[in-house]
Structure 1
């Protein structure tokens, strides 16, 4: 790329970091502490991949979290530039590109997510990468490699991104089968995307295995599924019917299950041994629930309702709550990046 292009991308990236500058520090979320800790201490969290932790560690140079959000912004700005290069005339490109960055920063949640130390920003990066590889013909091998690497890593930082990519490619593959004679979707591009997604699918369990955690995606998936079933009211109904016959430890607490099933210290999850101790029992419950139409009907209905609610919801303020002394982000920054603590204390968020 020319120097002018690189400068343009850098300017757009800095623009999208506006919320971070306004806050005087990158935005943190309760999960930020786990990501920083896992990356710096080099361990796989029980409920998420390690890759965003590694991103924070290396993008920050283990010195400044500002560098991490700037890296996020640069990746996003690069992907956006690829789109503008393809679909906008050269004489208007720079003005419209920067104008788009300003507009999204001021009138959407883009800057909040770019400025937050969470892997959520990699979800739109994943979608943009898929769009570029699928829709833009004639990309140079260099550009395909760059976009492919971004796609590959965007899925590795969060399980939801990987599953979303499977859904998108599944839908696109169906469209290709239905309209392949029209040539709307190139088979070579579709196969390339599938290859990247499958490789990323192998990366997470292979990394977990290499780090001594076994070959699998997550050791905590059963807990999150149980949280969802509790929230939907399925578990209370199931336990009321099953407990007279089943000897589940869960049954002793069937009348006092908190909605915040995972994090409430009074939750049956913690009173019966924790995440790993309950895995076998929870899987047995899932086997009953997911094969019984009485409960499956409720799950399908609640899933549909939740999907609609999320589709029409727009809330960017839930990531900016204060994280004060004793919180996971505060204590982790204090331990891993003590020189950043003073800046964090004087941020608007804290």
Structure 2
């Protein structure tokens, strides 16, 4: 068996609540390594207590225990592997295991599947990520406190977790505190998710979410928060005048929590400090040459009329004809093109799989740049330029 931890987004539902994993659940997927095939997905949360942002996973040398670090709730889960395999085997055979699970297809929706075969051990540090197991103890690297968390693995161990420092670290500044809060599920009711659940590293999860800030029934693609404070307004339809407003509204209406103002202010500091990562589409002479040719096409097609300035946005709301259904005719935020290479899929509803699709497939009437008369190789160069930003 192999194990992969991940967030399991319930993006098909409007974000009217967060209880019982309505928005995000946290899971470990079991892989049959011998067959190189998917086996099952098991939720790590409980009915009234999320286990946000699972990260590292490791098994004891004898295969008896599976340990998972939860970076958002600062704990480790210790799971009886034999009991887990037994329950999955019964579900695969159509035997009812819990009130919810009578088949494998039920398991990814069962918040009680691990009841009785898993212990949750709280650690004292912040942000446990990578884990290893040595001589009956699980060790977790606690990212934000420069410490290592420790917990006994054996079933007989009932002691709580502990942590030891790796050195005398300096007190965190506002940016570091903001990053800690951004990744901390304490900012969410019942700890189902952190800000990073939908915005890993402040960027995107690639999903469409039907948020309540502009009505029901219009799911929109997650936006990167890079340069959000420098490119108002916020949200795809500009319903928040600034990123500062959006941060506080997100804590209240997406995390369903009331938190101290200093936490929101620290998150502002963290987001303002984020810097773009150099594009991998500039690696290699051929890619750099294509991007340079695309710069001229960018000007020729009129892209620079809206995507201008240091952040490649004119900060306006514009109807460029890409809205569909309820968004038809709606003016949408001109997004920054910085780090466009890492924010797929594209357009407000995420229907464009690639930048090339934005340019060549979803641009009826040339309202979103004059691309209909461009040669295919010009389209490729234009896409290369955008992806190089």
Shorter-chain TM band? under 0.3
More strand by share: 2
- Higher RCO, 1 vs 2 (CA within 8 Å, ≥6 residues apart): 1
More helix by share: 1
Query: Taking structure 2 as the reference length, what is the TM-score of the superposition?
Result: 0.23
Query: Taking structure 1 as the reference length, what is the TM-score of the superposition?
Result: 0.25
